[in-house]
Structure 1
Amino acid sequence: MGEKRTLSSRLRQLAGELGKFGTVGAFGFLVNVVVFNLCLRTFELASVRSGVIATFAAICCNYVGHRYWTYQDSDKSRVRREVTLFMVFSGFGMAIENGVLALSHYGFGFTSPLADNIAKNVIGLGLASIFRFWSFRTWVFRTDPDSSAGRLLGLSAEEKRENRRMLLK
């Protein structure tokens, strides 16, 4: 392969990454829904409080899945930075997800358990997932250009310099 990767190789890589991200996300979704409904129905907590607890439980599960599977080839030399960024961006995702729930529940008055689940676990989670995918691959789990994965991906010299500059920040 030459210095530059082809569009088709980049799309294949993106498709594989999206597949893994989606699989981990599906498991996190199950955790999120189960914990949300457990808090809402069994413990009779408020909707947004239940949503925050459920999202936090899913974030913890998702970190493990993304760290050790989706982005297993990312730079492992700066784990503290990675965890911090993961939590910050996951927190923004949590705000998106539960902001949609709060708007639906308190702003529009859709207060049934079904409406809460649709607002939080369909609309909110969908928007938050798009944000998380972008932020995780862009800022949290960066591939070291000198690793075997970086060489396998065929990063160009410019991409290697840019990644190295970002890693050293």
Structure 2
Amino acid sequence: MDQRWRRRLDEVARFLAVGGVATLVALFLFNLLVHGNWAVSDPPLSDHALLAYVLANSVGMVISYRGSRHWAFKHRETTYADGGRTAYVLINLLTMALPVSCLWFSRDVLGLDDPWADNLSANVIGLSFGMVARFYLFRTVVFSQPRLPQPGVGAIMTPPPTPPRTHTP
């Protein structure tokens, strides 16, 4: 395997590890807010699953940014003055529409509101779509790495300068 592919696979592995930690935190918070647990018998957002999902994943987003900036994509520079935070948040909010839409469809169209249906629709199906979109967008927009020109590829060839003509009578 050449160096470029090894570097990309390492990057994917780090991205998945960071995303895994952020997802576990968001998953725990979402289920606590909507379905409760042994300590919370009356969950505060049981009737507001979409809001709970957005809140829980906002916490996950902060964790994800820190891990992505300082570990997963640490070797990549960003061209943004704020270190890519604004672009990162915008991408997360846009791609969060995928799992939120799946959760909405499951709850409001299919009428499913149990923990299995919520987690399958939002945290398995929707999150899978969102993860692929985020990896591509983070890598190409937020943590873009300037490409170095390769010699001889795409270079504009200019002819050598011609010597000045001298006029002889």
TM-score of the superposition, structure 2-length normalised?
0.78
The residue aligned with 1:115 is 117
Task: Give the whole-Å Cα distance in 2 for the aligned partners of 1:103 and 1:49.
Answer: 15
- From 49, 52, 56, give the equivalent of 1:50: 52
- Provide the aligned length of Structure 1 versus Structure 2: 144
Partner Cα distance (1:71, 1:78) in 2: 15
Q: CA deviation at 1:142?
A: 1.5
User: Which structure dedicates a bigger proportion of its chain to helix?
Assistant: 1
Q: What 5-or-longer segments of structure 2 have no aligned partner?
A: 155-169
- Select the residue among 31, 34, 52 that pairs with 1:37: 31
Structure ID, larger Rg: 2
Question: Which sections of structure 1, spanning at least 5 residues, go unmatched?
Answer: 1-6, 146-154, 162-169
Name the aligned partner's letter for residue 10 of structure 1.
Answer: R
Higher relative CO (Cα under 8 Å, sequence separation at least 6) belongs to 1
In the alignment, structure 1 residue 16 sits paired with structure 2 residue 7: no
Identical amino acids, percent of aligned pairs: 28
Superposition deviation, residue 18 in structure 1: 0.5
Separation (CA, whole Å) in 2 of partners of 1:79 and 1:21: 23
In the alignment, is the contact (CA less than 8 A) between 2:78 and 2:144 conserved in 1?
A: no
Q: Deviations over 1:61-120 (max 9, x none)?
A: 100000000111222563416111101100112111111111111112121111001111
Q: Shift of the alpha carbon at 1:14?
A: 1.4
**In structure 2, what is the Cα distance between the partners aligned to 1:144 and 1:127?**
27
Q: What is the 5 A alignment of 1:32-111?
A: 32-40=26-34, 41=36, 42=40, 43-45=43-45, 46-75=48-77, 78-80=80-82, 82-111=84-113
Alpha-carbon RMSD: 2.0
| Residue type of the alignment partner of 1:30 | L
* Secondary structure of the corresponding residue to residue 2 of structure 2: helix
